[in-house]
Amino acid sequence: MDRVSSSMKQVSNPLPKVLSRRAGGGGLEAERESFERAQTVSINKAINAQEVAVKEKHARTCILGTHHEKGAQTFWSVVNRLPLSGNAVLCWKFCHVFHKLLRDGHSNVLKDSVRYKNELSDMSRMWGHMSEGYGQLCSIYLKLLRTKMEFHTKNPRFPGNLQMSDRQLDEAGENDVNNFFQLTVEMFDYLECELNLFQTVFSSLDMSRSVSVTAAGQCRLAPLIQVILDCSHLYDYTVKLLFKLHSCLPADTLQGHRDRFLEQFRKLKDLFYRSSNLQYFKRLIQIPQLPENPPNFLRASALSEHISPVVVIPAEASSPDSEPITDLVETDTASQSLFDNKFDDIFGSSFSSDPFNFNSQNGMNKDDKDRLIEQLYGEIAALKEELENFKAESARGAVQLRGRASELEAELAEQRHLKQQAQDESEFLRAELEELKKQREDTEKAQRSLTEIERRAQANEQRYSKLKEKYSELVQNHADLLRKNAEVTKQVTAARQAQGDVEREKKELEDSFQRVSEQAQRKSQEQAEVLDTLKRELAASRQELQVLQGTLESSTQAGAEQSTRIAGLEQERDSLSQAAEQHGEEMAALRAELQQLRDTLSREQESSKMELETLQTQLRDKESGEQALQRRLAEEQFALLQGTAREAERMVQDALGRLEDPAHIGCTGSADCLLSRTLAASECVERLRDAHGKYLSNRTAVGSLLPCLALFAHLVSDTLLQGSATSHMAPMEPADRLLEMCKQCGSEAVSYLSALQDPGTVESADCSLVTTCLGRISAIGEELRPRGLDVKQEELGDLVDKEMAATAAAIETAAARIEEMLSKARAGDTGVKLEVNERILGSCTGLMQAIHVLVLASKDLQREIVESGRGVASPKEFYAKNSRWTEGLISASKAVGWGATVMVDAADLVVQGKGTFEELMVCSREIAASTAQLVAASKVKADKDSANLCKLQQASRGVNQATAGVVASTKAGKSQVEEKDSMDFSSMTLTQIKRQEMDSQVRVLELENQLQKERQKLGELRKKHYELAGVAEGWEEDAAD
Tens digit of each residue's pLDDT (9 = 90 or more) over 736-756: 888 888 888 988 888 888 888
d(CA 231, CA 234): 5
d(CA 1025, CA 1020): 8
Grouping H, G, I as helix, E, B as strand and the rest as coil, residue 286 is strand
pLDDT reading at 601 higher than 50: yes
Confidence band, pLDDT 50/70/90 cuts, at residue 93: very high
Confidence band, pLDDT 50/70/90 cuts, at residue 331: very low
pLDDT reading at 579 higher than 80: no
| pLDDT of amino acid 337 | 45
| pLDDT of amino acid 153 | 92
Grouping H, G, I as helix, E, B as strand and the rest as coil, residue 765 is coil
- Over range 814-820, report the average pLDDT: 75
pLDDT reading at 480 higher than 50: yes
Q: Measured between alpha carbons, how far is residue 156 from residues 145, 168, 235, 288, 874 in Å? A: 16, 12, 19, 27, 69
Contact 552, 492 (CB under 8 A): no
> What mean pLDDT, rounded, does the chain reach?
75
Confidence band, pLDDT 50/70/90 cuts, at residue 26: low
d(CA 935, CA 451): 65
- Over range 679-698, report the average pLDDT: 85
d(CA 927, CA 961): 12
d(CA 1029, CA 985): 53
Phi, psi of 558 (to 5 degrees): -65, -40
d(CA 439, CA 608): 9
Contact 351, 358 (CB under 8 A): no
More reliable by pLDDT, 717 or 893: 717
- Over range 564-593, report the average pLDDT: 69
More reliable by pLDDT, 12 or 692: 692
More reliable by pLDDT, 820 or 148: 148
d(CA 127, CA 138): 6
| pLDDT of amino acid 334 | 40
First-to-last CA distance in the chain?
125
Sequence-distant (6+) residues with CB within 8 A of 44 are: 78
Q: Mind giving me the DSSP string for 366-431?
A: HHHHHHHHHHHHHHHHHHHHHHHHHHHHHHHHHHHHHHHHHHHHHHHHHHHHHHHHHHHHHHHHHH
Across 734-767, b (16+ Cβ under 10 Å) vs e yields: bbebbbebbbbbbbbbbebbebbbeeeebeebeb
Residue 730 burial (10 A CB sphere; 0-12, 13-18, 19+): buried
d(CA 1031, CA 275): 100
Across 499-524, b (16+ Cβ under 10 Å) vs e yields: beebeebbeebeebbeebbeebeeee
| pLDDT of amino acid 14 | 35
- Over range 988-1016, report the average pLDDT: 79
| pLDDT of amino acid 975 | 72
Residue 651: which of 766, 768, 750 has the closest Cα?
Answer: 750
Contact 524, 475 (CB under 8 A): yes
Length, in residues, of the chain:
1041
d(CA 246, CA 298): 7
pLDDT reading at 619 higher than 70: no
pLDDT-above-70 percentage for the chain: 73
d(CA 124, CA 146): 10
The answer to which of 469-483, 628-642, 782-796, 1011-1025 has the lowest mean pLDDT is 782-796
The answer to which of 265-279, 505-519, 670-684, 771-785 has the lowest mean pLDDT is 505-519
pLDDT-above-90 percentage for the chain: 9
Phi, psi of 986 (to 5 degrees): -70, -35
The answer to which of 61-65, 603-607, 654-658 has the lowest mean pLDDT is 603-607
Most trustworthy range by pLDDT among 288-302, 861-875, 969-983: 288-302
pLDDT reading at 323 higher than 50: no
Confidence band, pLDDT 50/70/90 cuts, at residue 471: low
d(CA 248, CA 257): 14
d(CA 205, CA 275): 13
pTM of the model: 0.35
Q: Mind giving me the DSSP string for 288-352?
A: ----SS---TTSGGGGGG------B--TT-SSTTTHHHHHHHHHHHHHHHHHHHHHHHHH-S-SS
Residue 803: which of 902, 901, 898, 703 has the closest Cα?
Answer: 898
| pLDDT of amino acid 229 | 92
Phi, psi of 156 (to 5 degrees): -70, -15
pLDDT reading at 95 higher than 90: yes
Most trustworthy range by pLDDT among 175-184, 482-491, 781-790, 943-952: 175-184
Grouping H, G, I as helix, E, B as strand and the rest as coil, residue 72 is coil
Amino acid at 708: C
